[in-house]
Amino acid sequence: MLDLEKIYKAQERIEGVVVKTPLAYAPYLSEVSGSKVYLKKENLQVTGAFKIRGAFNKLASLSESERACGVVAASAGNHAQGVALSASKFNTRAVIVMPESTPLTKVNGVKHFGAEVILHGSNYDEAYAYALEYGEQNSMTFVHPFEDEEVIAGQGTVALEILEQYGELDAVVIPVGGGGLIAGMAEVIKSLSPNIEVIGVSASGAPAFKDSFEKKEAIDTLSVRTIADGIAVRDTSEITLAYALKSVDKIISVDDEEIASAILYLLEKQKLVVEGAGAVGVAALLHHKLKHLQGKRVAIVLSGGNVDVTLLSVIIEKGLLKSHRKMKVTVTLVDKPGSLMHFTEILQELNANIVHIAYDRTSISLDYGDANVTVHMETKGAAHQEEIKRRLKEDGYLREN
């Protein structure tokens, strides 16, 4: 069984390899939430996520003969990089099995640390099954992302650091996927500071662990769907669930819209790039799911920052639309010289900055001689957008989106 001594041992092992990440006061978050908020920035970890802690501790716990045989893991994300980097530190062969659909950037990220990559299966579960088989056939140690005592102990070192950096907390908020991080951290917190509330946050599109926690038995789901891929775990581990039932006070969930808004908030207000899994705690705070913590001292773990750039661009674009800093209008013009110029002159008068124009004269919904013009523009808030709409109606531009 996991105990505090095992986690202290893990802290000794990872020293000099793993970064002791900052626990920093977040003034904007504190102001909007009414809590005194501190962010544990594991997004600044050496591999961009906390996973290196458990992976390195696992490899450090192996015998020399076990390390000589190599290690194998299944992952399309942060665990893969953690195992790959850890293996390189021990000059150990590492094989990472990733689904065939894994983006090239993630494959290259693992290869950068010297690991071999095998692309197998259409999803994580197929890659996982193959990795177990491959490890058994080649006498290699399988490094599980969360269902392993040494891995859990390594993740628990996050809590040791938090309590060393600022021990006078009322609550710690932790992302939950497979449960390895919250299992290790909760063990530390309840052993050293039992009055601190431990709160887990999961993605509503990956409900297995939360449902299992509430029903006090391991429950699996048929599928998961969330932008927080780091916590998109389908099945519940009985090992991590047991620790959670022992030491975690509550688990709540946030949806993808809430996660996306938290990613954008952290980027804009805190100047931090955080992936979906790492942003769930902030999402819960921003969307008033932690109201009981108002006036309390709260640490939130930003578990990782390895967000896909394409996803990030979509989140930013949608965020600008929702916050009325961008808008799209479609108007119908008479298709003759000067019509478009007159339309754009109106927008110029209103100080709307055009960033994209699409001109369509062939749609079957149009009368002959007309054209649809769709304009994307930068605006200065809701009042500015209402002013633009009012003026366009006054000037006879009837169609809008």
Active-site annotation, residues: 51, 303
For 210, the enclosing helix (H) or strand (E) is helix 208-215
Fill in the amino acid letter for 368.
Answer: Y
- The residues with which 332 forms a beta bridge, in sequence order, are 372
Distance CA 354, CA 364 (A): 26
Residue 83 Cα to chain centre, angstroms = 19
Residue 16: left (phi > 0), alpha (psi -120 to 50), or beta? left
DSSP 367: P
- The residues with which 289 forms a beta bridge, in sequence order, are none
Distance CA 305, CA 279 (A): 9
The CA R_g of the chain, rounded to the nearest whole Å, is 25
**Quick check: 104 and 113 in contact, CB under 8 A?**
no
The token pair at 292 is 């009981």
